[in-house]
A and B are shown apart, each in its own frame.
Chain A
Amino acid sequence: MSNRILAVDDSTSMRQMVCFTLASAGFEVTEAEDGLVALEIARKQKFDLVLADVNMPNMDGFSLVRALRGLAEYKFTPMLMLTTESTTEKKLEGKAAGATGWLVKPFVPEQLISTIKRVLA
């Protein structure tokens, strides 16, 4: 059974890229276009890893991670932020929300796969 990943990004092209990349690496990917949708999906089924953009309409990535950490099923689940902000402040904000780590945009597909594989090893 391959690992299930929830990929959250409001940008269609980024989502396509992320989903395609992960699916090609053999992961099962479900996509969501913002935090609210992701939260709804994550409540219904369990994922092994959550990958979320920070800046999204309706519910941003930090709020999503905070909400998920509050659920028993996601207490220890790795959650990575996809962020363009590489400033320490943003990283700390992510960590404070409960994020496991981050991946700084822009990244190439190979980087994404190696990071995810490292986390899910």
Chain B
Amino acid sequence: MSIDLARFHQAFFEESFERMDAMEQGLLQLEGGADNAETINDIFRAAHSIKGGAATFGFAAVAGFTHHVETLLDSVRNGSRGVDKPLVALLLRASDQVRALLNAARDGGNADAALSLQLQAELQAALAGDTAAVVAAPACAAVVVTAAAATSGWRIVFKPHRDLFASGNDPLRILRGLGTLGELESELHFAADLPGFAEIDPQQCYLSWTLRLCGAATEAEVREMFAWVEDECDLSIAPLAAGPVESAEPVHVNVVPITAATPVAAAAVAAPAAKSRAPAESSIRVSIDKIDGLINLVGELVITQASLTQYTRGLDPLVHERLLASVQQLEHTARLLQESVMSTRMLPIDSVFSRFPRMVHDLATRLNKQVRLQTVGEATELDKSVIEKIGDPLTHLVRNCIDHGIELPAVRVAAGKPAQGTMTLTAAHQGGQIVIEVIDDGRGLSRQRILDKARANGLVISDNASDSEVWNLIFAPGFSTAAEVTDVSGRGVGMDVVRRNIESLGGEVELRSQEGEGTSVRIRLPLTLAIVDGMFVDVGGETFIVPLIGVVESLQPAPEQIRRIAGQGQVLRLRDEYIPVISARELYRVPGAAREACQSIAVIIEADGFKLALLVDDLIGQQQAVIKSLEAHFRRVFGVAGATILGDGRVALIIDVTEVVRTCGRSLAA
């Protein structure tokens, strides 16, 4: 696999110029007399980072020059050189040159090479003027070079220290590495003081090896394999031809000749055992059923506590002071208990986000597009059941975004945008909900194309429709404006499915777009499917709960706001909008005579962009309800999403807003 580093160049330049700004600012502060270690550190870090990036992305001129700046700054940082005006002035001139080199690297031009050389000489002179010690550094490199004598192989005695595992190293890894250099034979030794099985500490390494590596590998190559552990082991490497060299193993009791494959297995037993043991100390795996059982019980507890609170409300606070205090304490503890139990089901959304970088990469490559994926708020936690169900709709949105949103590089450049498109995935908590956004800086939605397509599909829509009404059309089943159908998306199955999936989770989707600038899809979801924020309403003495997410507003209609339309029931006129009216009493067949609309409360509920006025007798209040599924015990009932148990022990039904609006609202409106 080869990766084109050019895709990171833009980010590198942006970042480098930012760092140069910071560096200059810091230098100016130093000149102003602020001799602050943190400022010097920041300046050093800027140069250091530019040098590292430039070297990585292949801008040798930038890396080479910045190296000299960095070296001088390092001597300032470690205190071996003081700050004075000439130094700051020199560094400022040097930073101008870094900028010039960066510009040249970006635009493919040439910077003034003579100036670079002159400044380099000045930087070196500034350095040499104060310290002579630094000059010694390059000399070390020469020592390592050993005569790579032709040899048939190497005899290696490798005796890891007991605590080798504690640095995250694994002897097996090194053996495998050596195996790639030639033919490896290995002899495994146990430590002389190997304790009995019960006393073995799996976090310690009791093994050592005598290895014979046959092949043309040089000593440097062999040493390289041990580079990370050279201070954590006793190591001797000698040419094979040299015969029996000094044994680094004077005290082993148990010499077991083994073929190349077996010690690997033995080491594998030792190392992973040590690894898997550590996490067990701080976390355990519990079946989700157990947690759900716990959540259910806590739900019951909260309900009982609520009824207890209700019963004690009428008591005289003076007489029953201690009882009331205990009840209050119980309420507090129950709420904390509920929160912490719920949190055991919470997972970071990262588990969903993390599947996208690869997907974006693959898709973008296939479609010849350049897409950079940014994720924000990966650590945001939400309920496991929501996490499981959000993956598919999000995948759909991400695909859509790359396929339709982000333009081909040439188109983007022609539109004055960077060739590389940016797609951002964000997640955040917002007042008891989680908000996930998929944002791109692509071509945006075309209002005209959507209107044309809608009309072609026989939908009636006025030219003056608001943008959000137009964007809403995209969610209609079978709607696609893609000029051509690709194998990625554009078959018109999509956005309606996305919306349905999100709504089945009790969430909602909102689309915003600016033609030519990009699109943002915002998904709001409840944090959990086990609790709902609801508006409690009264219908003929029964309590119903309307999930708050579906409530727009509630009002008492005036008689002149209600119109009756022949054969179609009533509508409510609200600020130039006509909203179909439905009585909750009729809908749920609650016994008793229906009240007049103007004597009821109209709760305006919304789903799919359609509104409906639900008539109820009274508003009781707003509170959280623990959702109990009815479907485990009963047949699915139209318009009911679930039930909850009230403080007084009665059951209240939770209204399925989406289903009610979809069925009643549309049939009335049509």
Q: A26-B358, A101-B169 are known contacts. Are A12 and B3 too (CB-CB below 8 A)?
A: no
Which residues of B1-52 have CB atoms within 8 Å of chain A's CB atoms? 1-3, 5, 7-9, 11-12, 14-16, 42, 44-45, 48-49, 51-52
From B271-279, B293-301, B519-527, B650-658, the one touching the partner chain is: B271-279
B residues 332-381 near A (Cβ < 8 Å) are 348, 350, 354, 357-358, 361, 372, 378-379
CB contacts (< 8 Å) of B11 on chain A: these are: 12-13, 16
Chain B residues with CB below 8 A from A21, complex form:
3
Say if the beta carbon of B55 comes within 8 Å of chain A: yes
Q: How far is the CA of A13 from the CA of B228 in the complex (A)?
A: 27
Given A13-B53, A95-B167, A121-B176, residue A55 in contact with residue B372 (CB < 8 A): no
Residues of B within 8 A of A88 (CB): 140
**Complex contact B56–A100 (CB within 8 A):** no
A77, B278: Cα distance in complex, Å: 10
- The answer on a CB contact under 8 Å between B140 and A28 is no
Interface residue ranges of A1-35 to B (CB < 8 Å) = 4, 10-14, 16-17, 19-21, 23-26, 28-30
Residues of A within 8 A of B56 (CB): 14, 17, 105-108
Of A20, A28, A74, A99, the residue contacting B3 (CB under 8 A) is A20
How far is A76 from B166 in the complex, measured between Cα atoms in Å? 5
Q: Is the CB of A11 within 8 A of B167?
A: no
Q: Which residue of A lies closest to B276 (CB)?
A: A76
Given contacts A13-B12, A20-B361, A23-B361, contact A84 B169 (CB under 8 A): no
Contact A100 B168 (CB under 8 A): yes
Interface positions of A from 56 to 75, Cβ below 8 Å from B: 56-57, 69, 72-75
The interface residues of chain B lying within 8 Å CB-to-CB of A113 are 1
Complex contact B173–A79 (CB within 8 A): no
A13 to B57 Cα, complex, angstroms: 9
Q: Which of A24-52 contact B (CB under 8 A)?
A: 24-26, 28-30, 40-41, 44-46
Instruction: Judge if B281 is at the interface, Cβ distance under 8 Å.
Output: yes
- Which residues of B sit under 8 angstroms from A30, Cβ to Cβ? 350, 354, 378
Chain A contact residue count (CB 8 A cutoff): 55
B52 engages A14 (CB within 8 Å): yes
- Flag whether B165 is at the interface (Cβ < 8 A): yes
* Contact residue among B49, B203, B358, B372 (Cβ-Cβ distance under 8 Å from A76): B203
Beta-carbon contacts under 8 Å, B258-280 to A = 274-275, 278-279
Cβ-closest chain A residue relative to B381: A44
For residue B177, CB closer than 8 A to chain A, the reply is yes
How many angstroms from the CA of A113 to the CA of B176 in the assembled complex?
16
* Chain B residues near A (Cβ < 8 Å): 1-3, 5, 7-9, 11-12, 14-16, 42, 44-45, 48-49, 51-53, 55-57, 63, 137, 140, 165-170, 173, 176-177, 203, 227-228, 231-232, 274-275, 278-279, 281-283, 348, 350, 354, 357-358, 361, 372, 378-379
Residues of chain A having any CB pair with chain B under 8 Å: 4, 10-14, 16-17, 19-21, 23-26, 28-30, 40-41, 44-46, 55-57, 69, 72-79, 84, 87-88, 92, 95, 98-102, 105-110, 113, 118-119, 121
Some 14 contacts from A to B, beta carbons below 8 A apart, are A13-B14, A17-B8, A20-B8, A23-B361, A24-B1, A40-B379, A69-B166, A76-B166, A76-B203, A87-B137, A95-B228, A95-B231, A95-B232, A101-B227
